[in-house]
Amino acid sequence: MMYTNLSCIVKGLIAILFGFLAIFLPGPLQTTFIGLFWVFIVIGIAIFLLLATTSRSDESLFWFGLAAVLVITCALSLFAQLVITLVFMLMIAGIAFYSGFADINYALRFPKTKYYMIIGMFLISVLLLGVLFRTLPVTELDKVVLRILGTFALIFGIFSIAIGLHEPADPAAPAIAPGQIQKKYFTCSCKPPREK
């Protein structure tokens, strides 16, 4: 099983990489993706299956689903070249969405800080997006979409790494009272024998 903090760091690094490339190098990134489409598909399926077998049970189904989507995409791309471009944008969107969803799901476990973390992610993303469009304007629709998705992927990835590096103990874990032994399926109370 992949540890939670390691999983956050890996997802964060992937999101930052694709987010940075989608923001600053959308053309070369898209050209490279189309040229190496089948290589990315095979590697993607292998990575998703690996993550599905090493992640927690609630994450395994998601990774298995992504692997199945890539297999279906292989079949569809044989009939339409447009599918490859759509897959590229959906891949960036999926990375941003999952990284952000995992961060929000983690933040909800902390009642005192969840609103600051969630609002902070979206505010920083919107501010960075405004700065990028003002300093580096683009007109092509595909590059606009890539910049938006890449910005959210980049910010969510940074938050994922921060969570993975500073994750405390699980706040939802029940406390074990003195004199109790907590098992996976039952809890027994160890009491001293009565005096006769």
Q: Quote the number of domains for the chain.
A: 1
Q: Domain residues for 30? A: 4-169
* Model confidence pLDDT, tens digit, residues 110-158: 666 667 777 887 888 888 888 888 887 777 777 788 888 888 888 888 8
**In angstroms, rounded to a whole number, what is the distance separating the alpha carbons of residues 19 and 26?**
10
Q: Is residue 20 part of a domain?
A: yes
The helix or strand, by DSSP H or E, that contains position 101, with its residue range, turns out to be helix 82-107
- Reported as a single tens digit per residue, the pLDDT across 36-74 is 777 878 888 888 888 888 877 767 787 788 888 888 877
pTM score of the predicted model: 0.57
Name 76's Cβ contacts closer than 8 Å, sequence gap at least 6: 83
Q: Give a yes or no: residue 176 inside a domain.
A: no
DSSP code, position 180: E
Is 132 within a domain?
A: yes
Is residue 189 included in any domain, yes or no?
Answer: no
- Rg (alpha carbons) of the chain, rounded to whole number: 22
Most confident of 26-30, 90-94, 123-127: 123-127
